[in-house]
Amino acid sequence: MKKHLIGRPVPRKEGRAKVTGQARYVDDLVFPGMLYGATVRSRVPRGRIKGISFGEGIPWHEFTIVTAKDIPGENYVALIAHDQPYLADGAVNHSEEPVVLLAHPEKYLLEEARRAVQLEIEALRPTFTIEDSLNKKEIIWGEDNLFKSYSVEKGNVDEVWARADFIVEGEYRTGAQEQLYIETNGMIAVAIPEKGVTVWGSMQCPYYVHKALMALFGLPADKVRVIQSETGGGFGGKEEYPSMIAGHAALLAWKSGKPVKIIYDRAEDMAATTKRHPSRTRHRTAVSKDGKLLGMEIDFVIDGGAYTTLSPVVLSRGTIHAPGPYFCPNVRIRSRAVATNAPPHGAFRGFGAPQSIFALERHLNRVARAIGLTPEEFRRRNFIQPGQTTATGQVIRENVNMNHLLERALVLSDYHAKTARFARENSGQRRKKGMGFASFMHGAGFTGSGEQYLASVVELEATPQGRVRVLAASTEIGQGTNTIFSQIAADALGLDYDSIEILKPDTASVPNSGPTVASRTCMVVGKLVEAAALGLQQTLVGSGYLPEGYTPAGFERACKRYIESHGPLKSSSQYQPPPGIHWDDATYYGDAYGTYAWAVYVAEVTVDTVTFEIEVNDFVAVQEVGKVIHPVLAAGQIEGGVAQAIGYALYENVVWNEGRMFNSQMTNYIMPTAVDVPPIRVFFEELPYSYGPAGAKGLGELPMDGAAPAIVNAIENATGVSIHHIPVMPESLMEALAVTEKAVERA
């Protein structure tokens, strides 16, 4: 047998279907007699529903109309808390809140009808900002507007301020960001009261949708079936909201007796579905005169929007990543997720970490300046070393070497020569150039005991023809699930790439391998694929049908013989935590993640001080991610994540108007195009991780964390202007430059 696929750029499993246009996404599916569904939304950010009326000129008798009273089971989207209704009943808490559903065979008439539904809502005073929510100007959720709070304590931060040589404070903010997958959200449902509910659609987490539909319809697990169609990007944006759309389509199908398709148009998708949580972070840092961190006090707040959704877990990841890849003996982190009357914010690649890491990596540059060290020298003195503990008391057991990553990134980007040259040449120039970097890490897999609760399962099944099928709920959303699972299974079994088939996630036929989130698909689920493959091999060896050093033909003969005498040949594997991992949810103490990916990113920018345009000219991304399973897919993840983070830093500005996204169009919400991105140069270091498949770790979210602070640090290097929020729009740069110029004049 041979092992030759891991580490090689095999062709993407479903590549041919994608480049020929044959891949079938949900909007490509048509069912006989299908109706289209539409959603009537509140349009008032907070209030009480007094009445619903249906305007004239619409043949309402042709429509299927669903309100909260039509719901057969529970009126909540089952996730963490049960506070978000499928359809508002009495109260509305954000202006995109669904109130009425309509279905009709004719799309154009449906849209006219949607506009003809009038909601009479008595408005209540809304809350839109983190500050108003924290100050409890109005109580809009629970008793105190807090979805969740955490506190992390290490050492005794209270005693460091008196003996610190320097104390540096700062406040940093990040805006909302839209995932902007190019395929909008959509679902098709077939629902027959005596048979059950089946949905097809674009999603990351089939079993989340499954759980939500069971509660909505009061049905047992076997009466609900969820099937993933080809999914045109997710980035977290299809983690939770698909449960809402699936429920809506299914409610309309249940009442009408016909298949119902709901496809959001771009404006509805951008405005109504989840976006990245806006954040505010305050740092107070104590440093000794030799540049060592003595104490860090961090106050991290995220805006969760109107309902709990995933905010507690986003907050958790943001909290744990807030002190970064540094050693500090005394740390206090207080973090809170607050309610506002905006549509709920949710999962987006990085999941809280890009927010808190932006704050930290901007702040550390400020600290370095205050004590008179370069940003790189200050970090060198404080990088966490093997054997040291993180803020949650996790001992770093892997052989991490952040200094090495930093050196390599600075060399590859020609950082020192360029900073020196730009410093000489910028003076008097309209276009100023600068270099900036950020150092960071990203925990792979669910936080704390999350993976143990999930207890994911993967199955493998062999056919008499010697083909092996992987059965998992992990979705292919572009990141390469199908391809890497095939590589891992094929190498474990010594088979060819083409002998492996990946079954389309369908809750009727695949086990629950957990959600496709948290950089866990390769490392956690891939490990289960590997283990199940080895289990299959052991079964065949144990049965005496598979000789050592077998060939693919020998494997086929063994499968055939086994199945003929024993029946189906299956193997399953369930998650077991790596040994020595401990986490205490109550004290928030212990091993927050099984492992981390580590990185240093460097950006080179040009700032035009007349037009206030900012260009990123070069980008170097150096990271340690364990064994790279597929070099092209892995680099593709980093490049795509960096591009998304360039958007986060410079272009992607969600404009709010009374709690509604004002610019919910691609025309005025701007993401990077082919002419905006710099060369993104990706370099991997590979220290195999014992508990990942072939030594792999997770890497999908990592690139989202570091690019924004690297770019804003570079802007500061170019202009001398310190900016504390993203996105850095031309107008905010103009303002910041004007303030600095005034300060210079006064001096």
Query: How many chain residues touch another protein (CB under 8 A)?
Result: 58
| CB contact set of 420 (below 8 Å; sequence gap of 6+) | none
Q: Pick between residue 234 and residue 526 the one whose CB is nearest to another protein.
A: 234
Shortest distance (Å) from residue 613 CB to another protein: 16
Quote the least distance from Cβ 9 to another protein, whole Å. 7
Q: Give the pairing of strands 91-92 and 260-263.
A: unpaired
The minimum distance between CB 442 and another protein, in angstroms, equals 17
In the region spanning residues 88 to 127, those forming contacts with another protein, defined by CB under 8 A, are: 108-109
Interface with another protein, residue 615, by CB under 8 A:
no
- 15 or 720, CB closer to another protein? 15
What is 305-323 written as a DSSP string? ESS-TTHHHHHHHHHHHTT
Under the binding rule (CB under 8 A), the answer on residue 273 touching another protein is: no
Nearer to another protein, 229 or 281 (CB): 229
| 166 backbone φψ class: left, alpha, beta (φ>0; ψ -120 to 50) | beta
For another protein, the closer CB: 181 or 383? 181
CA–CA separation, 450 and 279 (whole Å): 24
Question: What letter does residue 257 receive in the DSSP assignment?
Answer: S
Give the pairing type, strands 64-66 and 98-104: antiparallel
Residue 698 in the binding site for another protein (CB under 8 A): no
Minimum distance, C-beta of residue 610 to another protein, in the bound complex (Å): 23
Q: Whole-number minimum distance, CB 181 to another protein, in Å?
A: 6
Among 126, 201, 393, 478, binds another protein (CB under 8 A): 478
Q: CA 100 to CA 117: how far, in whole Å? A: 8
Longest CA–CA separation in the chain, Å: 90
Asked if 515 is part of the footprint of another protein (rule: CB under 8 A), the reply reads no
Is 242 among the residues that bind another protein (CB under 8 A)?
no
Write the CA distances from 154 to 157, 243, 327, 566, integer angstroms. 8, 39, 11, 57
14 is an interface residue for another protein by CB under 8 A: yes
Sign of the Cα torsion 103, 104, 106, 112 reads negative
132 belongs to the binding site for another protein (CB under 8 A)? no
- Report residue 619 as tokens: 């980008």
Residue 727 token pair? 């996105």
Least separation in angstroms between CB 308 and another protein: 27
What gap in Å lies between CA 681 and CA 665, rounded to an integer? Answer: 31
Q: What is the DSSP letter of 467?
A: -
**Of the candidates 599, 603, 600, 645, the residue with the CA atom closest to the CA atom of residue 626:** 599
Quote the least distance from Cβ 703 to another protein, whole Å: 9
| Binding flag, residue 711, another protein (CB under 8 A) | no
Which 222-241 positions form the footprint of another protein (CB under 8 A)?
230-235
Choice from 3, 4, 28, 171 touching another protein (CB under 8 A) = 28
| CB 25, min distance to another protein, A | 7
Instruction: Give me the 617-656 binding string for another protein, x by CB under 8 A, dash otherwise.
Output: ---------------xx-xx--xxxxxx------------
Cβ–Cβ under 8 Å, residues 604 and 413 = yes
Of 123, 182, 395, 417, the residue at the interface with another protein (CB under 8 A) is 182
Q: How is residue 295 written in tokens?
A: 């104490």
**CA-to-CA dists, residue 471 to 75, 301, 528, 573, angstroms:** 32, 39, 11, 11
- Give the DSSP letter of residue 94: S
Among 465, 587, 665, 690, contact with another protein (rule: CB under 8 A): 665
- Closer residue to another protein (CB): 52 or 109: 109
CA atoms of 664 and 347, how far apart (whole Å): 18
Decide whether 116 or 666 has the Cβ nearer to another protein: 666
Which residue is it, tokens 């990596």? Answer: 361
| Among 83, 96, 183, 530, contact with another protein (rule: CB under 8 A) | 183
Residue 15 as a binder of another protein (CB under 8 A): the answer is yes
Residue with smaller CB distance to another protein, 44 or 58: 58
d(CA 19, CA 730): 37
If one asks whether residue 309 binds another protein (CB under 8 A), the answer comes out as: no
Instruction: Write down the least CB distance from residue 505 to another protein, Å.
Output: 15
* Cβ pair 354, 277 in contact under 8 A: no
How far is Cα 598 from Cα 699, in angstroms, rounded to an integer? 9
Q: By CB under 8 A, is residue 494 in contact with another protein?
A: no
Taking the least distance from each CB to another protein, the nearer of 376 and 639 is 639
Among 143, 667, 743, 745, binds another protein (CB under 8 A): 667
55 is a contact residue toward another protein (CB under 8 A):
no
Query: Could you tell me which of 186, 179, 180 has the C-alpha nearest to residue 228?
Result: 186
Rounded Cα distance, 40 and 207, in Å: 27
Which of 399/673 has CB closer to another protein? Answer: 673
- Residues facing 104 on adjacent strands: 36
Q: Which is nearer to another protein, 114 or 334 (CB)?
A: 114
User: Among 90-98, 211-219, 550-558, 665-673, which window interacts with another protein (CB under 8 A)?
Assistant: 665-673
**How many angstroms from the chain centroid is the CA of residue 656?**
22
Distances (CA, A) of 478 to 92, 137, 155, 475, 516: 36, 43, 43, 9, 11
12 binds another protein (CB under 8 A): yes
Residues that bind another protein (CB under 8 A): 9, 11-12, 14-25, 27-28, 108-109, 179-184, 230-235, 265-266, 477-480, 632-633, 635-636, 639-644, 665-667, 671-675, 677, 679-680
